[in-house]
């Protein structure tokens, strides 16, 4: 199987293995289960392809993140698309491992392990939180400052720069 992902085909292979050899799951021997999945299905090759795509997406997301300052909103949207793709690959691997009832798979590229999650804080009533649990971020409102200076209102601690020439590049 090249890098083409087909979870339905792999699930079908797992189901066929489950039907033809039900004792593999009932035995409780996880190494036998992993060896059977590796030898009789594309399970490991599929997960390796998922890891490759996940890593590629994470690399692209990191590259996009480095350019966000220069590219502004379009760069952030691009970064988010790569991050979403990486998360989708992670979720796909998680679902497939759950389907196969496997908690750990060692691949040449990575070891995948399903482990217990970490509790997250859920804010149910922000107004009821004590003051020491609230954080307020102070930052300059550059849009407002530019607007006020452009209208002739002096703003202490801020000024407009001289406009620098730019090059516009539009794809055909």
The pLDDT tens digits of the residues spanning 126-143 come to 999 999 899 988 999 999
Q: Which contiguous run of DSSP H or E holds residue 112?
A: strand 111-113
- 5 with 92: CB under 8 angstroms? yes
Report the chain's mean pLDDT, rounded to a whole number.
84
- 51 with 112: CB under 8 angstroms? yes
Residue with tokens 């798979």: 105
Give the pLDDT score at 172. 39
* Cα four-point dihedral sign 65, 67, 70, 74: negative
Whole-number Å distance between alpha carbons of 127 and 134:
10
Structure tokens given for 49 = 């392809």
pLDDT of residue 123 exceeding 50, the answer is yes
Give the pLDDT score at 81. 86
pLDDT of residue 36 exceeding 60, the answer is yes
Give the pLDDT score at 1. 41
pLDDT tens digits, 51-94: 888 888 888 888 877 766 555 666 677 778 888 988 898 888 89
User: Domain segments of the chain: what residues?
Assistant: 7-113
Residue with tokens 């085909």: 9
């Amino acid at each position: 199987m090249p890098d083409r992902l087909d979870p339905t085909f792999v699930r079908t292979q797992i189901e066929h293995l489950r039907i033809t050899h039900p004792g593999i799951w009932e035995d409780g021997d996880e190494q036998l289960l992993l060896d059977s999945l590796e030898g009789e299905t594309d399970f490991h090759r599929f997960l390796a392809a998922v890891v490759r795509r996940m890593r590629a997406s994470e690399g692209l997301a990191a590259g996009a993140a480095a350019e966000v300052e220069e590219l502004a909103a379009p760069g952030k949207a691009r970064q988010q698309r790569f991050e979403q793709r990486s998360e989708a690959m992670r979720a796909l691997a998680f679902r497939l491992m759950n389907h196969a009832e496997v908690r750990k798979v060692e691949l040449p590229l990575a070891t995948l392990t399903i482990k217990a999650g970490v509790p997250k804080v859920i804010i149910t009533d922000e107004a009821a939180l004590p003051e020491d649990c609230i954080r307020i971020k102070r930052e300059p409102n550059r849009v407002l400052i530019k607007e006020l200076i452009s209208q002739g209102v002096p703003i202490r601690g801020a000024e407009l720069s001289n406009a620098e020439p730019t090059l516009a590049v539009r794809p055909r």
